[in-house]
Structure 1
């Protein structure tokens, strides 16, 4: 087995007591992390721009779920715009070349949009659950105006909740060693903040995702109006939502929790250096994994929809000149028009379409 990377320690006298300051292995995993950030940006930027336009079309048709999906794409785009700065920071050996204010603003946008995205994912699953399990009862409750208010409330609450970022010394990159929100720069305030992030930003959303997707799956499996293949697609989507959430966010938040607990137990002393030595590289890797969510969301939530895929194919066909023939234009419109007899959401082949029945009980676009 390879020995863990050595961590430099520096003893500093503060108020007569000696406190050991740790120097994490900043160069460990630098190249893979830069490649990961770059890959997520290359995939996530065009896919979110595409889904932003596709979901906007759904909004014009009265889609409630489209509100959350459009907000999610916009959130992920804002989130992705910080990745070039983080990639540059990591490639420089975790040296922040810009001002302290730039560090705090970038960190604020990065973490703020991470949790806005998490809560919007919960909204998507909850909306699907209500529309599938309580399809009749929810017709008068699922309104676009309510969805807009919920999305705005989430953005406002998360934005206010992350304002302490601007008061934390961990973001003072222009001072000391020019680091920007490194995990070794811990304090009691950071430890308490990380505990809150674990509970509110990970554990509660995870429970919501598990409960709602399990309810959707159980309801669809009992339905007699769906074929076996359609049920398998719903099962795949429900499982994929939870698995993606765990892969992207569980490692990062578990490390946050462990670090917060160990800080309260040991404090900023020499014993904590061993923890930083063993957990720094996993921490950076877990932070990189959290960015995968922004690249996969469009594929999982939007581009997996049959209706949206057909709409995308029609648009591509028009761009490529396949739909230039005038005589076929009227017939093609009739062929792509949804069948009004399929108003029951349980008879739709796609869960996104199933949860998008309009106020009158008809599917979107009817």
Structure 2
């Protein structure tokens, strides 16, 4: 087990990173058409091809998923992944035509100090193409791919991943780009909210402080200076996956449950200033023994795994090279 989403058989992950741009793209490619769904809980989402993931829509499976920086400009990343898949003859068959099905979501990283003067066309289509062609089983975490320009309220965000085996025997994994309006750690402390779920010291092994401090009446929120209107430079986007055989309706339920992973790792979350989105995918390698109880066990494992992935995203991040950018967790507590 790599403790990565690629421990779920049937998928690979690729990243494309541009540190000068302070942004990037992460692509999840499936070895075969894969059942998937999505659930959006944030108030400011940016998404592509999410309607077709509803249980009642015609297309039954997808070929890839894309997480990107760049806000709405980053939606172009899906076209780059489509191009890479089309070159391989992969797509949804419509007569003699093949159309790769590539849903995606974006986060806002346009104000993080990177050079966004890209001219007429943004670079995200090319970054998406590069990410798709880089897909493999092993990949780095932190300031890479969609997590390159990500931040939290007071620390550098990043790309995180984790995996585990659910009590049902199914493998689950999570991949997340944490660019939250809130925080993954307690105020002015290195402890992560996701500490109760940590495994093998994967994000420092610090546990929670004792006694646990009371939460302030006013939460820490990313935005403009005190007294000004809050900013919208946020959104945490994720993919959760399992090797179970699931329907689109069951994948939808899994995506809904997965948002509890955000709630255990980020506070506050699902604000009007976030576009928090989670895709769920089932690669269909292992049937369910019980369609209800097993799904509940898989969902519980996904919650734990996504919470851990969120903490790992911040723990593994490094600060951007631009002057005046937020410090990384390791800059403050290592």
Q: TM-score by structure 1 length? A: 0.25
User: Going by fraction, where is strand more abundant, 1 or 2?
Assistant: 2
The higher radius of gyration belongs to 1
Higher helix fraction: Structure 1 or Structure 2? Answer: 1
